[in-house]
Amino acid sequence: MPSALTPSTHRASFAIGNEQTAKRVVDLLTESFFEGQAAIAAFEGAGGRWDITVHFAEPPDQASIRDLVGIAAGDEVAQAITFDTVEAKDWVKAALEDLVPVRAGRFIVHGRHDRSRVAPNQFGIEIEAALAFGTGHHGTTRGCLLLLDHVLRARHPRRVLDLGTGTGVLAIAAAKARRRPVLASDIDPLSVRIARDNARLNGVGNLVQTIQATGFSAPQFARHGPFDLVLANILANPLRQMATPLAKHLAPSAQVILSGLLPHQAQSVIAAYRARGLVLKRHLQIEGWSSLLMRRA
Task: Supply the pTM of this predicted model.
Answer: 0.69
How many other β-carbons are positioned within 10 Å of the β-carbon of residue 279?
11
User: Which pLDDT does position 132 carry in this prediction?
Assistant: 41
Short-list 132, 162, 176, CA closest to 224: 162
Distance, in Å, from the CA atom of 223 to the CA atom of 5, rounded to the nearest integer, reads 47
The kind and range of the H/E element at 143 are helix 139-154
| Sign, Cα dihedral of 189, 194, 199, 205 | positive
User: Which pLDDT does position 4 carry in this prediction?
Assistant: 39
Which conformational region is residue 203 in: left (phi greater than 0), alpha (psi within -120 to 50 degrees), or beta? Answer: left
Digitized pLDDT (tens) for each residue of the chain, 297 residues in all: 333 344 557 899 999 998 889 888 988 887 777 655 777 888 777 777 899 998 887 888 999 999 999 999 999 999 999 999 876 555 445 555 556 788 899 999 887 778 888 888 999 999 864 444 455 557 888 999 999 999 999 999 999 999 999 889 999 999 999 999 999 999 888 889 989 999 999 999 999 999 999 889 899 999 999 999 999 998 888 999 999 999 999 999 999 999 988 888 999 999 999 999 999 999 999 888 899 999 998
Q: 123: Cβ–Cβ under 8 A, 6 or more apart, which residues?
A: 106, 107, 108, 173, 176, 177
| Sign, Cα dihedral of 157, 191, 147, 256 | negative
Domains of the chain: 9-96 (3.30.70.260), 130-296 (3.40.50.150)
Helices (H) and strands (E) in the chain, counts: 11, 14
